[in-house]
Amino acid sequence: MRRYRDGSGTEDWREIFEGDAGTAYTAVRYEFNEYEDGGLRVATGITDQEVPMGTVTLGKFVYMKTSQDITVKFNGIGSTGILLQAGKLLMAFIDFTSVHVSNASGSEAKVQRFFAGDPT
């Protein structure tokens, strides 16, 4: 593996990996802030609870997993929700500035999440 700066003046690094057949693959590693914690508890009956994003102001990647069915909304409470079923994963590359969750499952939901994106 070779590493080199891309010459654009940014802090991005490009890495060249050699494949089995000698094919070169390029991967870009970006500098970003990330946020993860031990889990957010969302009581049943809660609607549009804002999810803390730490120092991430413009999210680029999200990973979420929950213990109960919840609805997840990105970029404001007026947006269309995504049903995230208990035990399933939500992983997406999406631009977002806020995340809200609702829980109508009848039980408290524990939500694991990881956000990556632009720093404050």
- Summarised one tens digit per residue, pLDDT across range 45-102 is 999 999 998 888 899 999 999 999 999 999 988 878 999 999 999 999 999 999 999 9
The class level of CATH for 33-119 reads mainly beta
Secondary structure letter of residue 6 according to DSSP:
-
Residues in the chain: 120
Q: Residues of 31-55 as b/e, b for ≥16 C-beta within 10 angstroms?
A: eebebeeeebebeeebeebebebee
Per-domain residue ranges of the chain: 1-31, 33-119
Tokens standing for 103? 């829980």
pLDDT digits (tens, 9 = 90+) for 35-59: 777 789 999 999 999 999 888 889 9
pTM of this structure: 0.71
Per-residue pLDDT band for 22 (boundaries 50, 70, 90) equals low
- Give the 3-state secondary structure of 37-106: CCCEEECCCCCCEECCCCCEEEEEEEEEEECCCEEEEECCCCCCCEEECCCCEEEEEEEECCEEEECCCC
